[in-house]
Amino acid sequence: MKKIFLALIFALLPAVVFAQNSDLKRYFDYSQDFDGYAAAIFIGTVSDSKQDISTAEEAIALFKEKIGTNFSSVAKLTKNNKWLMEKALNEWDYEEGEIYVVVITSSLYADDGIVIFVAIDEKKNFKYCAYQLNVDELDSFGTIFNEEE
Question: What burial class does residue 59 get, using C-beta atoms within 10 Å of its C-beta: 0-12 exposed, 13-18 middle, 19+ buried?
Answer: buried
Would you say 36 and 24 are in contact if contact means Cβ atoms under 8 Å apart? no
Q: What is the pTM of this model?
A: 0.81
The SS3 assignment for 120 reads strand
What local confidence, expressed as pLDDT, does residue 66 receive? 83
What local confidence, expressed as pLDDT, does residue 48 receive? 78
What local confidence, expressed as pLDDT, does residue 146 receive? 57
Would you say 134 and 112 are in contact if contact means Cβ atoms under 8 Å apart? yes
What stretches in the chain show pLDDT beneath 70? 1-22, 142-149
What local confidence, expressed as pLDDT, does residue 148 receive? 47
For Cα atoms 106, 16, 93, give the angle at the middle one, nearest 5 degrees. Answer: 75
What local confidence, expressed as pLDDT, does residue 147 receive? 53
pLDDT tens readout for residues 6-28:
444 444 444 444 445 668 999 99
